[in-house]
Structure 1
Amino acid sequence: MILDLAQRRAELTPDAPAVRFAGRWYAYAELNERATRLANLLAARGVGRGDRVSIVAQNHLAHLDLILATAKLGFVYAPLNTRLALPEQEAIGAYLRPSLVLHDEPNAERGAAAARGAGAASLALEGYEAALAASPAAPLPDPGVGPEDTQMVLLTGGTTGLPKGAMLPYRQGFYNAVNTVFSWGLRPDDCVVQATPAFHAAVNVFTLPLLHLGARVVLQPAFEAGEYLRLVEEHRATALFLVPTMFHMLAEHERFADADLSSVRWAISGGAACPEPVRAAFARRGVRFKQGYGLSEAGVNCFTITLDQAEARPWSVGKPMLHARAVVRREDGSECAPGEVGELTLAGPHVFQGYFERDDETALVLRDGWLWTGDLAVRDEEGFFGIVGRRKEMFVSGGENVFPSEVEAAIYDHPAVAECAVLGVPDERWGEVGLAAVRLHPGASLTEEELRGFLRGRLANYKVPKQIRLLDALPKSGAGKVLKTELRRAFERSEA
């Protein structure tokens, strides 16, 4: 297993364009030189094998420089969420204890807070290129890292409190790339626009697998729908990966109807199920769509499905990838029958090592070689898997299980609805009832009772939300996921 990806790609395709950032392409040989210079720069600052190096920045080339430099020095890449408040950054710094924190100008205060919590130095990216140029380009001695050494610590979503650091070894990155390239049919002539935040596992969806393959990646510093469409057109992007909120913003954008999407072979959504109206909007533009599934703790890509299969089974994420196993289980660990809802468990070389300094929490999710994901799933007779929702999000109303994702899908069928989120809230009579937070399309009109009437023809009565809140915006995480914890807090404040 070759762990120094930058060195090997520089040997294989030195002059091929690899990454576009800030208006220029960087070839694979340049990426390798940058990674080598960065390793020397970090070593001169006292960073060594096993030390963590953090970065709090938008999608900057430094993210990839750091990832590619890990194998040259043996340090651990530990990016930080740009959406966290200063006290949270300081707490994460104290938790991860990075030896150095890099930051861009918009995140200078966040970088300083993380460095303060860690008791570490910081480095502003405004001086980064000059520092790289002044650093030696000669390779360092081989640090001797192996497949089981930690390469990254990625923070989990943090939607339920202080994020945990998922430790990903080098073997995880290798097998995720192998799984993705072979199972999804990626090609050396593929090109993607990386617009989802680099501090999440999203870089493992397309960016790192494509760099293994020698293909092209365009970095968009921060997602903006119009600019994303322009980049897709200019660079003839062949695949799209975004979260549902971002796909929705594209479909609503004024340029979407006329954008040249002819180069796009397919699109895949992650983070949550993409609403059918959004998929339909892309289908009208000739873009075929499928639903992905993954989590920081497992790769991130876990399932594969062809476009024909995805269109025949829009509920499904497919079957396990080449080097992956998946079983839907009951609480006692026994395997569920086809059609029975249970918790999705995963096993294979793409599964993480555990949570950084969180042994108790690691023991809860890693059991007998299987990762218990916390996601409810179902498998049909033919072996296709579908994600039902988060176990923690399911609620019981009058003794009946209610899965928010099913209710959300029905709400999205209403043409006035732009975004929605459903959660269970306490109720004296029923134990729990549904609360739906809904954002309408600009200029649309819809009352709470009209929406309930619409849903009564599509859902059992106990699934129809008893409370509906029409909002101007829904709170979101740095990855673009709706923060249901924030919605719950707002509900609790309103009921106090």
Structure 2
Amino acid sequence: MLNPNWLERLAAYHPKRRAVFFRDRWLTYGELYERARRAAATLKALGVGPGDRVGLLSWNHPAYLDLLFAAPLLGHILAPFNHRLSLPELLALHAYAAPRVLFYGEGFREAAEALDPRALPLSALLEGEGEPPEGYAPGLEDPALLLFTGGTTGLPKGALIPYRQLLLNALETAFAWGLSREDRYVLATPMFHAALNALATPLLYLGGEVVIEERFQPEEYLELLRRHRPTILFLVPTMFAMLLESPAFAETDLSSVRFAISGGAPCPAPVREAFRARGVRFKQGYGLTECGVNCFTFELEEAEAYPESVGRPMPHLWARIVREDGGEAGVGEAGELWLSGGVVMKGYYNRPEENAKVFAFDGARLWLKTGDLAFRDEAGRYYIAGRKKEMFISGGENVYPVEVERALYDHPAVKEAAVIGVPDPRWGEVGAAFVVLKAPLDPEALRAFLRGRLAGYKVPKHLFFLEELPKTGPGKVQKEALRKLWEERHGAA
């Protein structure tokens, strides 16, 4: 049976090996496990027991790992909160998750005490005395994490992540991505999100090294690259783009990087090409909180030859593409991506009606309906066409916003772009594009550029130039916010 408390073994195997770097100090594997034991003792003294949620509101910090690795010693469930949310949003999430205790990092005291007057600073997490309870042994189906989904519409749902998912994702990622204990990366994406498991836990599972950046700042990130010489880069497209804008990018030595992976959304071709010009090989990742974060894999050579593809399913993950009528989609035909395997979540916390919507049984197999549109080519490579709910029909033709966004990114003056479908009296729906520019650009010139790359019905009828696009904590564009903006500006294209 797989061991949920695998850090104990690694601490015994190589206690003095470097594990995590934070604020100018390395923590060894021995120290990392000792911190987990102290955290478990602290929680025990606070009355936390199996099944209790433990909340965390903080910038990136080793406390996320302390609470995660303490969970198999005590049985609690780590529930990290998105620190970018407004107080009303956090209040709703706190009421939903109902954590037994809430810890907060620097700068979050006021918000945390508004959620729970008894909230404790992170400095209190490792002050517990005594030993964690003996004899507790978590099962693989027991939940270790309660991760809130992106929340671009309404209150996010809490996905219950069992130890089974954590372990299988670590094993699959290490094997399929070719990771080793010699690999190192800078963790700069928010640790309150599923990105915590994208690369940090797989690398630590192997005995690798993780450098934690408290808050992503392009210049600081590049300095960490120069200082620590990481072998793998993992960021969302917005972060990669921000690195390119930094004057320090051109001088940063990237020769240690074996490859870079973009997650969260398709990475624009100009961004990929800029890194490729610096010798950094690129892969497009795909995953979701509910299904173990890393769902597809690709050999580097093939990933470079087919940059719009996310590759093929992980070895122990099954994928299918389902048409609207429930039938199996053919080669090149778009449909909803369904996934099945040991990395699928237990379900949404206290949301049986939502579970009924996303799970489907087909014989003996349980499928997760991802809500993402995808298609595959004759060689079995998968491509993500966007969210199912984002596709719109213009004059009877399906339009996938991600395809239009890719064409927009091809223009050298476009920095960021997002497309939604909006009502139109003649065509039913048409595209509305929201664009952030690098340099001045005439709307008609941009439309002419798109007409050279897209069918006429795919060219957005409405164009809006913005200073920035609204985003969620993990860096995804909030298209519902764009829809509200469209409603406010309707007719002002």
- The 5 Å alignment of 1:28-427 reads 28-115=29-116, 121-125=118-122, 127-128=123-124, 132-136=126-130, 138-368=131-361, 369-427=366-424
Contact 2:338 2:367 in 1 (8 A): yes
Matched, 1:482 2:483: no
How far did 1:5 drift?
2.3
Letter in 2 for 1:77: L
Conserved 8 A contact 1:89-1:113:
no
Q: Which amino acid aligns with 1:385?
A: Y
2-side partners of 1:245 and 1:359: how far apart? Answer: 34
Per-residue Cα deviation, 1:185-239 (whole angstroms, up to 9, x for no partner) = 0010100100000000001110000110000000001111111111112111000
Q: SS at the partner of 2:185?
A: strand
- Alpha-carbon distance in structure 2 between the residues aligned to 1:270 and 1:20: 23
Q: Which moved more, 1:99-108 or 1:200-209?
A: 99-108
Residue pair 1:35, 1:69 contacting (<8 A) in 2 also: yes
User: What amino acid sits opposite 1:86 in the alignment?
Assistant: L
Deviation at 1:373, TM superposition (A): 0.1
The 3-state SS of whatever aligns with 2:389 is coil
Aligned partners of 2:171 and 2:202 also within 8 Å: yes
TM-score (norm 2): 0.97
Whether the 8 Å CA contact 2:39–2:128 is kept in 1: the answer is no
How far 1:144 moved relative to its partner? 2.3
CA-to-aligned-CA distance 1:314-350 (integer Å, 9 cap, x gap):
1211111121111111134322111111110000000
Q: Deviations over 1:103-144 (max 9, x none)?
A: 11222233223326xxxx31112x33xx524533x3421322
Contact kept in structure 1, 2:321 and 2:337, CA below 8 Å: yes
Partner of residue 457, structure 1: 452
For the 8 Å contact 2:44–2:132, the answer to whether it is kept is no
Distance 1:112 1:139 in 2: 27
Question: In 2, Cα distance between the equivalents of 1:398 and 1:26?
Answer: 59
The CA distance in 2 between the partners of 1:113 and 1:7, in whole Å, is: 36
Confirm or deny: 8 A CA contact 2:74 2:132 kept in the other structure: no
**Identity over the aligned pairs, expressed in percent?**
55
2:382 maps to a residue whose letter is F
**Structure 1 match to 2:462:** 467
1:273 to partner: Cα distance = 0.3
Q: Match of 2:280, as an amino acid?
A: V
2:429 aligns with 432
Secondary structure of the residue aligned to 1:343 is strand
- C-alpha displacement at 1:439, in angstroms? 0.6
Consecutive unaligned residues of structure 2, counting only runs of 5 or more, are: none
Q: Amino acid of the residue matched to residue 395 of structure 1?
A: F
Is the 8 Å Cα contact of residues 371 and 389 (structure 2) preserved in structure 1? Answer: yes
Q: Match for 2:443: what amino acid? A: E
Q: Deviations over 1:441-477 (max 9, x none)?
A: 1xx1201111011111111111000000011111111
Q: Secondary structure in 1 aligned to 2:126? A: helix
Q: Distance in 1 between matches of 2:359 and 2:227?
A: 44
Are residues 1:493 and 2:488 paired? Answer: yes
SS for the counterpart of 1:32 is helix
CA distance in 1, matches of 2:409, 2:69: 41
Structure 1 pair 453–495 and aligned structure 2 pair: CA distance change class (3 A): same
The one-letter code sitting in structure 1 at the alignment partner of 2:394 is S
Residue 483 of structure 2 aligns with an amino acid whose one-letter code is R
Note if contact 1:73-1:142 (Cα within 8 Å) is conserved in structure 2. Answer: no
Secondary structure of 1:174's counterpart equals: helix
SS in 2 for 1:267: strand
Structure 1 regions of 5+ residues with no counterpart?
A: none
Residue identity opposite 1:45 in structure 2: L
Q: Contact conserved, 1:404 with 1:423, CA < 8 A, in 2?
A: yes
- Contact 2:45–2:128 (8 Å) recurs in 1: no
**SS of 1:38 mapped into structure 2:** helix
Contact in 2 for aligned 1:292/1:317 (Cα 8 Å): yes
- Deviation readout 1:136-178 (Å, 9 max, x if unpaired): 3x34213221000111110000001100000110000000001
Give, in whole Å, the separation in 1 of the partners of 2:115 and 2:430.
40
Letter in 2 for 1:387: I
Residues 134 and 373 of structure 1: CA distance in aligned 2, closer, same or farther (over 3 Å): closer
Distance in 1 between residues matched to 2:114 and 2:85, nearest whole Å: 11
Larger mean CA deviation between 477-486 and 72-81 belongs to 477-486
SS at match of 1:405: helix
Q: What is the identity, as a one-letter code, of the residue corresponding to 1:172?
A: Q
* Paired letter, 2:274: A
How far apart are 1:242 and its partner, in Å? 0.4
RMSD between aligned alpha carbons? 1.1
| CA displacement, residues 273-308 of structure 1 (integer Å, 9 cap, x when unaligned) | 000000000001000001000000000100000110
Separation (CA, whole Å) in 1 of partners of 2:150 and 2:268: 21
> Partner letter of residue 196 of structure 1?
T
Counterpart code for 2:253:
D
In structure 1, C-alpha distance between the alignment counterparts of 2:114 and 2:469, rounded to whole Å: 27
